[in-house]
Amino acid sequence: MPANLTPQYLAAEQAFKQAKTIEEKIAALEEMLAVIPKHKGTEKLQADIKTRLSKLRDESERRTKAGRVDPFLVPKEGAGQVVLLGFPNVGKSALVGALTRARVVVADYPFSTSLPVAGMMPYEDILIQLVDMPPVTSDGMAPGQAGTMRNADVILIVVDAGSDDCLDQLDGCLRLMRERRVLLEEAIEGVRGVTIDRCLVAANKVDIQPSTVTSVSGAAASGGLKLPGPETWSNLQGLEDPVGSSLQNLEVLREFAPKGLEIVPVSSKTGYNLDLLRRQIFDALNVIRIYSKVPGKDPDMDAPFVLRKGSTVVDMARAVHRDFPNRLKYARIWGSARFDGQSVPRDYVLQDKDVVELHLS
């Protein structure tokens, strides 16, 4: 075979041939694109896959518009979409219920959630979308679920830190994400999916009373609770059993989880660390908030533009109006600039909470 196609590619091609739904076909083509060896010999094939992908995506959109609603296709809203992932009964719905006003079903039996439910989580001056999901098991997940996850901006893996199985739960979730090509080694143009730095773990059911942590560590000062420090740790292990064992499980998780994967101990029951989780979710989204200012007027601090981290003044101009990049001469910045109102060039990299005054020709 001239193109030297790998077994991985051939497997994906086989999956494409066997795919029954449009979503499955799209997923298989995305996988083919992700694993195809990238060299001159496969350029035509790559282009061909991209054409087929875009046709299928159009078709899928047409069907949705025609009223054939796929419940696993959750339209994005707000500053970013966070999709939950976890084994049964770990408290995914309880977490979404604690962080948003979504009407979720929380129950002490497994598989209580059968379809995605979206809600909006306020974070400072923006709203972030959380999507509660049916559980996964080591055998797999509901059809369509991988598609929802590939589309996400962040995946929030939820494990039950009260259970000795929590490391297996985390491993199981990561394995499923790899198998279904939700988790990508690196971001690839035109391929949906998330990289590990877009994943976050909530170790739920660490039922610490927020007030105990505050009084023990005095860590509430800088906004939101901190993780219990070593001194807090020893104090808490002395508390009654469930909390102590969840903290031990947490240490195991921390030790064996892949490097760079943030693990936040939380309790949807007591509210422990929910503020910290909100902030970690915002950080994982990798976005910045930019406020626009018309020359001579006060900035509009009510509705920030949400841009990808690393965005420049030109990106901001494009977000305001598609003609603005052509007309943009320079901008004045309040916030990250050395002094307030400093003039900066078009390629100036913006920081979270900058105020930008665009100067156009």
Positions that interact with Mg ion (CB under 5 A): 92-93, 113
Quickly tell me which residue has 């195991």 as its tokens. 252
36-44, 179-187, 265-273, 353-361 -> range binding ligand GTP (CB under 6 A): 265-273
Which residue's CB is nearer to ligand GTP, number 108 or number 139? 108
* Side-chain half-sphere CA neighbours of 338 within 13 A: 2
Q: What are phi and psi of 210, to 5 degrees?
A: -50, -35
Q: Which of residues 220-259 bind ligand GTP (CB under 6 A)?
A: none
Q: How far is the CB of 313 from ligand GTP (least distance, A)?
A: 43
- Is 205 a binding residue for ligand GTP by CB under 6 A? The answer is yes
Residue ranges in the chain assigned as alpha helix (H): 7-18, 22-35, 43-65, 92-99, 145-150, 166-179, 210-217, 230-237, 241-256, 274-285, 313-320, 324-327
How many CB atoms are closer than 10 A to CB 64? 13
Q: Which of residues 132-171 bind ligand GTP (CB under 6 A)?
A: 135
Q: How far is the CB of 26 from ligand GTP (least distance, A)?
A: 26
- Among Mg ion, ligand GTP, none, what binds residue 205 when CB lies within 5 to 8 Å by partner kind? ligand GTP
Q: How far is the CB of 108 from Mg ion (least distance, A)?
A: 11
Q: How far is the CB of 95 from ligand GTP (least distance, A)?
A: 7
- Is 80 a binding residue for ligand GTP by CB under 6 A? The answer is no
- Among ligand GTP, Mg ion, none, what binds residue 267 when CB lies within 5 to 8 Å by partner kind? ligand GTP
Which residue's CB is nearer to ligand GTP, number 86 or number 304? 86
Q: Which of residues 87-106 bind ligand GTP (CB under 6 A)?
A: 88-94, 106
Edge-first strand listing for the sheet containing 126-132 = 117-123, 126-132, 81-86, 154-160, 199-204, 262-265
82-90, 193-201, 284-292, 306-314 -> range binding ligand GTP (CB under 6 A): 82-90
Query: Is 84:159 a contact under the CB 8 Å cutoff?
Result: no
d(CA 140, CA 146): 10
Q: How far is the CB of 58 from ligand GTP (least distance, A)?
A: 34
- Is 201 a binding residue for ligand GTP by CB under 6 A? The answer is no
Which residue's CB is nearer to ligand GTP, number 86 or number 147? 86
Q: How far is the CB of 156 from ligand GTP (least distance, A)?
A: 12
d(CA 271, CA 267): 5
Give the residue, chosen from 46, 112, 209, 312, that forms a contact with ligand GTP under the rule CB under 6 A.
112
d(CA 39, CA 32): 14
Amino acid residing at 94: A
- Is 173 a binding residue for ligand GTP by CB under 6 A? The answer is no
Q: What long-range pairs does 326-334 form, CB within 8 A, spacing at least 24?
A: 327/360, 327/361, 328/358, 328/359, 328/360, 328/361, 329/359, 329/360, 329/361, 330/359, 331/356, 331/357, 331/358, 331/359, 332/293, 332/356, 332/357, 332/359, 333/357, 334/293, 334/299
Which residue's CB is nearer to ligand GTP, number 94 or number 183? 94
d(CA 244, CA 257): 20
How many CB atoms are closer than 10 A to CB 58? 10
Q: How far is the CB of 85 from ligand GTP (least distance, A)?
A: 10
Which residue's CB is nearer to Mg ion, number 103 or number 309? 103
- Is 204 a binding residue for ligand GTP by CB under 6 A? The answer is yes
Close Cβ partners of 17 (under 8 Å, ≥ 6 residues apart) = none
Q: By rule CB under 6 A, what count of residues binds ligand GTP?
A: 22
Q: Which residues bind ligand GTP (CB under 6 A)?
A: 86, 88-94, 106-108, 110-113, 135, 204-205, 207, 267-269
